[in-house]
Amino acid sequence: MTQKVAVITGASAGIGAALARHLAPAGTHVVLVARRHDALETVASTCGGQALVVAADVTKRTEVARVVRASLERFDHIDVWVNNVGRGISRPPSQLTDQDVDAMVRLNVKTALYGMQEVLPHFQARKAGHFINVSSMLGRIPFAAVRSAYCGAKHFLDALTATFRAEVQAEFPAIHFSLVSPGVVRTEFGVNALHGGVDSRQLPNSQSAEEVAAVIAGVMDSRLPDVYTRAGAQARVAAYYAALGVDP
């Protein structure tokens, strides 16, 4: 039986690295993608020879296309593409600049758009495939004003995932699109936010990257279209909109 191949962007640390370490021992070939080659090699060293390292900047479409080619040259096929690249921001909406908004869309939306567009022909040729887009609870509830444009970018990603699913599954029902929405995760996300930020690892009610990775691995099997990584998250979203007098 052909081994499953999963491409993971943003794989040099955090959720992406944790997902690679979760999948590889079970026999999945993982393609690790990020800009930092040395960091990717460190992650690959924990994957038991199941990893291909491709250093690339996925904010550039040509680089994403190169990742697709390298993956197919090595493994002949791709089963799952995980769009995990993203970056936060620490700036309220009244102070946002054009550059802030452009950066949030480039990092959180275009990286996923390029991945889906560049891999889609391969999935269509196989009549099967699975995209997993890592979003955020802030894509459901814009409860952190300081994250402003990040909230908007993740709302954009959520809508893009749903509309891609509607378009593609009309002809290719075995090509799946899943959205995974974590809350606060104990990674360097906060301190790496544009304009700096609070360390996510110090915030209460957080999850480990390993917990989120386990949920994503489960989605690879279930192919559910929309998944939260914390129990009670869906009820929290419903309560937020109910308090506004809106029926979600």
| Residue 125: both structure tokens together | 């040729």
Answer whether 150's CB lies under 8 Å from 88's CB.
yes
Annotated catalytic residue within 150, 228, 240, 241: 150
Q: DSSP assignment, residue 1? A: -
Q: Determine how many CB atoms are found less than 10 A away from the CB of residue 123.
A: 22
Answer whether 181's CB lies under 8 Å from 233's CB.
yes
| Residue 234: both structure tokens together | 């869906």
Tell me how far CA of residue 215 lies from CA of 21, 56, 83, in angstroms.
13, 26, 15
**How far apart, in whole angstroms, are the C-alpha atoms of residue 193 and residue 162?**
26
Nearest to 185 by CA among 216, 204, 208: 208
Known active-site residue 150: yes
Strand partners, 175: 129
**How far apart, in whole angstroms, are the C-alpha atoms of residue 62 and residue 76?**
20
Residues with a catalytic annotation lie at 150
